[in-house]
A and B are shown apart, each in its own frame.
Chain A
Amino acid sequence: MIELTVNGRKHSVDVEPEMPLLWVLRDVLDVKGPKFGCGIAQCGACTVHLNGEPVRSCSVPVSAAAGQKVLTIEGLAQRGQLHPVQRAWIDHEVPQCGYCQSGQIMSAVALLGKNRNPSDQDIDAAMTNICRCGTYARIRTAIHAAAKTLKSTKA
């Protein structure tokens, strides 16, 4: 049995230790926000936070998450309040098909967690998730907007 905490809830799962975290989340724990895109950590559709760090869960064995905290898109809103990044994503109409967006949002939240005022270059470096619909211009705008919101709420 492997124990892990997902969005604040403890789970123990009886699976092979090498089973990727993504598939444990999706097929065992029914957490469907993280998506499968490539299986080789290229696209980032499966991005979740492991102890606050963004990871590509398709390429992280569940054993690496044992006893640790996993945060997915489903756990981002707090007490019914959307995260400022989610809010900005709605305000700027970022998603098109939306399939990559839970990964995009988790990457953006992680970036803003480390860097409250990211420059365009910082966004370029951190946001390597692929979006086939091409929503990048709006992702950039929304990250800057969320940074502003975070600044004003913290100040």
Chain B
Amino acid sequence: MTGTFTHEFGPARRKFLKQSAAIGGGLTVGFSFPGAFAQKADGAVEINAWVVIRPDDAIIIRYARSEMGQGSMTSAPMLVAEELECDWTRVKIEYASANASVKRKRAWGDMAAVGSRTIRNSQEYLRRAGATAREMLIAAAAQQWGVPASECSASSSFITHGPSKRKVSFGKVADAAARLEPPKDVKLKDPKDWKLIGKSVKRIDIPDTVMGRQRYGIDAQLPGMVYAAIAQCPVFGGKVKSVDASKIQNRRGIIKVIPLETYVAVIADNWWRAKEALRDVAIEWDTAGNSGVSSASIMEFLRAGLTQQEGLAFARREGDVDQAFGAAAKVLEAEYFTPYLAHATMEPMGCLALVKDGKVDVWTSTQSVEASLATAAATAGVPLENVEVHRVQLGGGFGRRGGGQDFVRQGVAIAKAMEGTPVKMLWTREEDMQHDFYRPASLIRMKAGLDASGNPVAWYSRVSAPSIVATLLKLPLKDGIDPQAVASYADQPYSIPNVRIEYAQRNPHVPVGFWRTVGHSQNPYMRECFVDELASAAGKDPYEYRLALLGKAPKELGVLEATARAAGWGKPLRAGVHRGIAVTEAYGSYTSAVAEVSVDDKGALTIHRLVLGIDCGYVVNPDNVIAQMQGSAVFALTALIWGEITIKDGRVEQSNFHDYRLMQLREMPAVEVVMAPSGGFWGGVGEPGQASILPAVCNAIYAATGKRIRSLPLKNHGLTLA
């Protein structure tokens, strides 16, 4: 089965290059991988794993990770194209196959779109792949002409021999180029010579989306396919005890009821029938002793982590905080809390799978095709090379579709029980809301000592929070530290001589996972609000106060200054409007935010303006960076104002968008993005934007009301959006 989606520029859209239609086989070039598919039925030639060239000069650039709106499916190939010197208008982007990755010893490297790392982790090998292919094309043309390669250059998909002005297109020499030994060492362009990187390029997936042609996991369809709806034990950790499906036995379209360990699946000839019938299946659950857990009991459990003496881990220890607190002119202490949050991707979890003849085919919206493939293989009990995870666009990811892979495990388990028949499983929104891997709740105590002039001399944080790494990934923690739990404390940028950061790992029964911006979705809020408290206690302007402490952090300093300047920090505002500011590193980028807010006497909050600064080093696709910053604002403000998953009787109380509010268009404030790229490094873009927004708004609320917001969301403080 082939499920290759192709994207094409130009007037004609043609389906081409089914990866299974390979002929030729033996030619391996570019990177070392055996059994490569080199020449295609349409004459397309694979120069290396990333670059395929057709005789008509169409350039196919492969994209390995997932596209979920972050725009990497366009910006990653831009890096290849930059070095390849090809005509971007003739570039088509094609997903790399997960199955081929297994057979070709991970020729495309890490295929996961997680951690804002597509550009920053792949940029070097992507640019190298483009440069290597370019050098091979030049060498092939030079050979044909009998001239030294050093006299030839490539530009816009043509190779030119300088002295004779002879020209040949890439497509004409691709076959010969593919037979050459790839050069071991290629020189990458100086950033000042970039033609494509740094220019706003249209995202290639957008036309399909606006025509309703974009295909997501939920849209996958196979002949003879049946549908599954599932009910999972509402109490985390629980199991199926008994199932009575007698009421739906003769119902139209119902094919089968499959009880599995922790959930029950109803199979029907369409999904609506399966879902409706499931409501009439009587399921008794064994709640594994968790039915008494509540938000209050979880809070009590986390609170114990603030005072526990045993089992602590230390993320940073510098100087002697206790002595410094004793000598300080002023000591401040505060407790901050951030709640569990659901991802709420617009496309609920789902998976289409076919288990047949020892092979598994999966279509699912996943951030990690490799993790999905491994999960499918393990669940079906087949070797990795017998599985293909077909590529689709994701209806949102935000971390939900990376580490867990619960939806693949379920989809394949159900398909295995229906062997030979393709089954498309889909969750209801309610299942999705109540069976997430939530952004961890986190309770933090902070303490700081100021000297007589208000400068901080000591900083202490105790983080009491679950560990995603230990519970979801089930990996051992280095020195007992989950880096996400202490992110932005352990690496706080301010010049403070005495610092101690402690971590008390506390894992309630609620599953936790990577939620967009992860630790930086919560810790910078707490850190930057507390820094604001210090500035107030010192009687200093919060911007000036930070500036003075960032002497050893030039990147933070730079983005803070650029953002404050753009926002007009210090300039008078109209009556009742107040500013707040924040700065932090996140995912290798540096962000800052200035918020202008007013709050009326009834607690109605108006966010008049948000100025968001980012220094991501090099900017690949500027308009996409702006889009990610705008989106980050909506994501962050949704969490700030309404975001809260609460637990009662061991289960999640929220169930759908009526009680888990997401921001709407009319509620989005004006957002201005300040690009402050300092170059010299490659930072992330999808996640950093959120980090500074929450504290900037909370600090502005303090400036407006004199009230510190030490727990989220705002709705619990009597604040609503005006």
Chain A residues close to B by CB (< 8 Å) = 16, 19-20, 23, 27-28, 30, 32-33, 35-40, 42-43, 45, 72-74, 76-77, 82, 86, 89-90, 93-102, 105, 123-125, 127-140
A121-B666 Cα distance, complex, nearest whole Å: 8
Tell me the chain B residues, 380-426 only, with Cβ under 8 Å from chain A.
Answer: 393-398, 426
How many Cβ-Cβ contacts under 8 Å join chain A to chain B?
Answer: 169
Q: Which residue of B lies closest to A77 (CB)?
A: B211
A21-B336 Cα distance, complex, nearest whole Å: 47
Residue of A37, A98, A105 near B393 (CB, 8 A) is A98
Contact at B210–A132, with CB atoms within 8 Å?
no
| 7 tightest A-B CB contacts, nearest first | A134-B634, A33-B212, A96-B69, A99-B395, A97-B69, A73-B212, A98-B209
Contact at A136–B346, with CB atoms within 8 Å?
no
Residue of A105, A128, A132 near B346 (CB, 8 A) is A132
Chain B residues close to A by CB (< 8 Å) = 68-71, 202-203, 205-207, 209-216, 218-219, 221, 227, 252, 270-273, 344-348, 393-398, 426, 428-429, 623-624, 627, 630-635, 656-658, 662-666, 668, 671
How far in angstroms is the closest Cβ of chain A from B116?
A: 14
Q: Which residue of B lies closest to A140 (CB)?
A: B665
A42-B205 Cα distance, complex, nearest whole Å: 26
Contact at B271–A27, with CB atoms within 8 Å?
yes
A residues near B345, Cβ cutoff 8 Å: 97, 99, 132
Residue of A38, A39, A102 near B212 (CB, 8 A) is A102
How far in angstroms is the closest Cβ of chain A from B226?
A: 11
A138-B624 Cα distance, complex, nearest whole Å: 12
Contact at B272–A20, with CB atoms within 8 Å?
yes
A residues near B668, Cβ cutoff 8 Å: 134, 136-137
A residues near B634, Cβ cutoff 8 Å: 131, 133-134, 136
Contact at B658–A93, with CB atoms within 8 Å?
no
Contact at A132–B396, with CB atoms within 8 Å?
yes
How far in angstroms is the closest Cβ of chain B from A118?
A: 12
Contact A137 B671, CB 8 Å, known A72-B212, A97-B346, A98-B206: yes
B residues near A43, Cβ cutoff 8 Å: 346, 657
Contact A90 B271, CB 8 Å, known A42-B656, A124-B665: no
Name 10 extra pairs, CB < 8 A, besides A90-B202, A133-B631.
Answer: A30-B221, A32-B219, A37-B429, A39-B429, A40-B656, A74-B211, A74-B212, A90-B207, A127-B666, A136-B664
Contact A135 B272, CB 8 Å, known A35-B395, A37-B346, A123-B665: no
B residues near A82, Cβ cutoff 8 Å: 210-211
B residues near A86, Cβ cutoff 8 Å: 210-211
Residue of B209, B215, B270, B428 near A27 (CB, 8 A) is B270
Contact at A98–B205, with CB atoms within 8 Å?
yes
Contact A42 B272, CB 8 Å, known A95-B210, A123-B665, A133-B396: no
Contact A96 B631, CB 8 Å, known A128-B664, A132-B396: yes
Q: Which residue of A lies closest to B670 (CB)?
A: A137
Residue of A30, A42, A137 near B657 (CB, 8 A) is A42
Contact at A132–B398, with CB atoms within 8 Å?
yes
A residues near B397, Cβ cutoff 8 Å: 97
Contact at B218–A137, with CB atoms within 8 Å?
no
A93-B630 Cα distance, complex, nearest whole Å: 12
How far in angstroms is the closest Cβ of chain B from A69?
A: 17
Contact at B627–A23, with CB atoms within 8 Å?
no
Contact at A99–B211, with CB atoms within 8 Å?
no
Contact at A132–B272, with CB atoms within 8 Å?
no
